[in-house]
Amino acid sequence: MLVAFANRPVKSPNLELADLIGPLSYALDLTEGQPKDHCIRCCYIGMALGRALGLPEAELADLFYTLLLKDLGCSSNAARICELFLADDIDFKQGFKTIDPGFNAALSFVFKRTGLKAGLSERIRALVKICREGERTTQDMISTRCHRGADIAAKLRFSSAVQEGIRSLDEHWNGKGQPFGLTGNDIPRASSIALLAQVVDVFHSEGGPGGVATELHKRRGSWFDPQLVDAFDALNASEGFWEMLASPDMPDWLLDTAPSIAGLPVDEEYLDDVAQAFSDVVDAKSPFTADHSNRVTLYADMISEELGLADNHRRWIRRAALLHDIGKLAVSNQVLDKPGKLDENEWKAVRLHPLISENILKRVPAFADMAQVAGAHHERLDGKGYPHGLAGDDIPLEARILTVADVFDALSAERPYRAAMPIEKALAILDEDTGTAFDGECVTALKRGLERLSQVIEQPKIASNQTIAA
C-alpha cells in the first residue's frame, strides 16, 4: 500500500524573488568550483559598487539579478573543457580564474593542467590539438556559455538588461573580450561590474583583501573601465566593507535589501518556470544527459497520473523531477561522461550527487519541501541504495516515482558506455528488480502510462489515414 509523502499545498507562501534566486545561485557556485556563496558575495560587491556610482533603482534591480545569475550558462562548456584539456572541468575553471591576465599566463596554465592523469602520448595529442584548435574552440565555448546564460535568464522572465548583462560578462574594456569584442561604454555596465565583482571575490577568497587591488590594477584599462577600478578603490578603503563581506549575516541582509522588480510575481507558474530553467542548466552539463530532466519529468508525471494523484501533487512532483539531478552540477564531467568503469573515488563523487541536490534545495524556501524527495531518487526499497540507505516505507512515494522514472530514462536513453535500449528491454530490467529496488505499483503505472501514450501517438496516424482514404 502506497502512502503519499504529504498533501502538497496549491498555494506557495508569499515568496520574494530574491529569496528564490539567491539561494539557487549556490548551484551555479558548484558548477564553477567556487566556494559557497560566490554569486551572493559577487552580488554584495557589485551592488556596493552600483550604489557608490549612484545608479538609479531600476538599473540596480537589473544589476542585482545579473550578479546572482552571471554563471547561468557555465554548465554548457563543462563537457568540452574535459574533452579539450583532458581535465576535471570544475578544478580547471576554478584555477583558470586565478591566473594573471594575458595570453602567456593562459597558455602556461593550459600546458600545466592538460591531461595530468593521461598517458604521455595522449597528453601530447591533446596539447597538439589545443595548439591547432584551442583558440577557436575556447572562443566557441565562451560564446556558447554567454548566449546560453542569456537564454536561460529570458526563460526566468528577466529583462533584456539582465539577459545582456549575462551575455556580455566576458567583454573587456579594450575590446579583446568575448563574445562580440565590445569596447568601452558599449559594454553593458552590469556586465563590467559583474566581471569586476567576480575578480574581487575570487582573489579575496584566495588571499584576503590585500591582493585584490593589485589584481584590479593589473587589469585597469584592459579588462576594466578605469573609472570602475577607481570607484572600487574608494570602496576598498571604506569602513566595514570587507567585514560585511565576510559576515555570516551578509547573505540574509543582501536578500532582504534586494531592489524589487515590478511585474515578476513569485507565483505557482513562476516556480514552474524556475524549476524548468534550472533543469536546463543541469541538462546542459553533459551531451549524454541532454533533456534527461525533461524526460524524467514526463515519465514521473505519467506515473503520478496513473496512480491517481491530485493535480497540485502532480505539479509538485514535476518540479522535483526537473530538479532531482541539480547536484550533478558539482560532479566533474570527467566522471559523468566517462565511457569506462568508474574507480572508487569517481563512484564516490557520483554517489554524492543526490545528497548535493538535497542540500541545494533545502536552502531554497520555495523548494525546500522537495529536498528529501530529490535526495532519495537513488534509494532502493531493500536499503541498498544511496546516499542514505533508506528502506521500505522510509522512502516517500514521490521519491519512488522519481526512481522508476529516472532508471527507465537512464536505460532507454543513450549513455557514454552503451547505446539506447529498446523500451521492452528497459521495462524487463525494471521488472527484475521490482520489489527489491523499485516499487511495483510505480512500475505498473509507468507501463500503463507508456501504453496509453503509444495509443495517443497511434491515433492521429489512424485518423489521418482515414482522411486520406476518404
Residues in touch with Fe ion (CB under 5 A): 325, 406
User: Are 169 and 194 contacting, i.e. CB atoms less than 8 angstroms apart?
Assistant: yes
**Residue placing its CB nearer to Fe ion in the complex, 19 or 409:** 409
**Residue placing its CB nearer to Fe ion in the complex, 171 or 325:** 325
Tell me: cis bond preceding 13? Omega within 30 of 0 counts.
no
Among 364, 284, 375, residue whose Cα is nearest residue 72: 284
Conformational region of residue 439, where left means phi above 0, alpha means psi within -120 to 50, and beta covers everything else: beta
Residue 378 beta carbon to Fe ion: minimum distance, rounded to whole angstroms = 6
Residue 3 beta carbon to Fe ion: minimum distance, rounded to whole angstroms = 23
CA distance 286 to 89: 12
**Residue placing its CB nearer to Fe ion in the complex, 70 or 285:** 285
How many Cα atoms are found within 13 Å in the side-chain-facing hemisphere of 232?
29
Q: Distances from the Cα of 69 to the Cαs of 32, 119, 410, in angstroms?
A: 12, 38, 30
Residue 194 beta carbon to Fe ion: minimum distance, rounded to whole angstroms = 31
Among 21, 38, 28, residue whose Cα is nearest residue 282: 28
Residues recognised as catalytic: 328
**Residue placing its CB nearer to Fe ion in the complex, 39 or 360:** 360
CB-count exposure of residue 350 (10 Å: 0-12, 13-18, 19+): middle
Residue 396 beta carbon to Fe ion: minimum distance, rounded to whole angstroms = 16
User: Are 407 and 436 contacting, i.e. CB atoms less than 8 angstroms apart?
Assistant: no
Among 387, 393, 403, residue whose Cα is nearest residue 437: 403
Residue 400 beta carbon to Fe ion: minimum distance, rounded to whole angstroms = 14
Q: What DSSP state is assigned to residue 420?
A: P
**Residue placing its CB nearer to Fe ion in the complex, 49 or 320:** 320
